[in-house]
């Protein structure tokens, strides 16, 4: 006789974050109010304010929770040479961008929609982009690239552009990987 898998109940904070991720990605941050967020998360407004100071903090928490999944497990290729690890980031982005569910970079989306660099979610978005650039810079330095900091900024620009392209056209296109390979070669990798 097979036993049913235990049902894991999530708490109100987790439900708010998960619901916020889904709604904000599909409809935008500003178009989803606290009442709707609470209703869809099956959480009272009182409970929301017990866990968060308000909607702005929910948005920031939702973005923070998305960081690891969006950056596609940056450290999962730790056994590969640095150059291959850089390319793997773009290959995974290309793979994700081909999915009909791909909605681009949540950090670019939030910062573009909010337009307020001091907003808690914009701060999270900025930190995540700096983290991606730092990750690239570290790999490039390990691989002996010339001007790793400059190249890391260029790779982040390509990553962001490919994310937007994936929303607009589906897929990051072979041009993305070609641009990455050209830059890496030009910098000695």
Predicted TM-score (pTM) of the model is 0.85
pLDDT of residue 187: 95
Digit-coded pLDDT (tens) for 128-152: 999 999 999 999 999 999 999 999 9
Is 19:65 a contact under the CB 8 Å cutoff? no
Dist CA 165 CA 34 (whole Å): 31
CB atoms under 10 Å from CB of 150, counted, come to: 14
pLDDT classification of 120: cutoffs 50, 70, 90: very high
Q: pLDDT tens digit string along 20-66?
A: 999 998 899 999 999 999 999 999 999 999 999 999 999 999 999 98
CA distance 47 to 43: 6
SS3 state at 10? coil
Distances (CA, A) of 48 to 53, 63, 120, 168: 8, 17, 17, 34
Weakest mean pLDDT among 2-6, 70-74, 92-96: 2-6
Q: Which of 105, 25, 110, 104 is nearest to 60 (CA)?
A: 110
DSSP string, 22-41: HHHHHH-STTS-HHHHHHHH
Contacts of 71 (CB under 8 A, 6+ apart): 89, 128, 131, 132, 135
Residue 69 has pLDDT above 80, yes or no: no
The confidence band for 71, taking pLDDT boundaries of 50, 70 and 90, is low
pLDDT digits (tens, 9 = 90+) for 93-104: 888 888 888 888
The runs of H, that is alpha helices, within 28-147 are 34-41, 45-51, 55-70, 82-97, 106-114, 120-142
Angle at alpha carbon of residue 28, lines to 23 and 34, rounded to 5°: 60
pLDDT tens per residue across span 146-182: 999 999 999 999 999 999 999 888 876 778 999 999 9
In terms of Cβ atoms closer than 10 Å to its own Cβ (0-12, 13-18, 19+), residue 2 is exposed
- What SS3 class is residue 82? helix
């Amino acid at each position: 006789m097979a036993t049913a898998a235990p049902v894991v109940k999530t708490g109100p904070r987790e439900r708010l974050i998960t619901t916020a991720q889904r709604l904000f990605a599909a409809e935008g941050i500003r178009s989803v109010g606290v009442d709707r967020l609470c209703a869809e998360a099956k959480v009272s407004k009182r409970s929301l304010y017990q866990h968060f100071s308000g909607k702005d903090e929910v948005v920031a928490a939702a973005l923070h929770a998305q960081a690891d999944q969006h950056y596609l497990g940056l450290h999962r290729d730790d056994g590969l040479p640095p150059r291959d690890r850089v390319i793997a980031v773009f290959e995974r982005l290309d793979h994700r961008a081909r999915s009909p569910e791909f909605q681009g970079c949540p950090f670019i989306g939030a910062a573009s929609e909010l337009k307020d660099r001091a907003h808690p979610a914009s701060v999270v978005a900025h930190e995540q982009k700096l983290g991606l650039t730092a990750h690239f810079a570290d790999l490039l330095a390990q691989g002996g690239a010339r001007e790793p900091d400059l190249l890391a900024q260029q790779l982040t620009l390509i990553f962001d552009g490919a994310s937007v392209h994936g929303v607009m056209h589906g897929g990051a296109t072979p041009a993305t990987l070609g641009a990455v390979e050209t830059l890496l070669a030009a910098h000695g990798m």
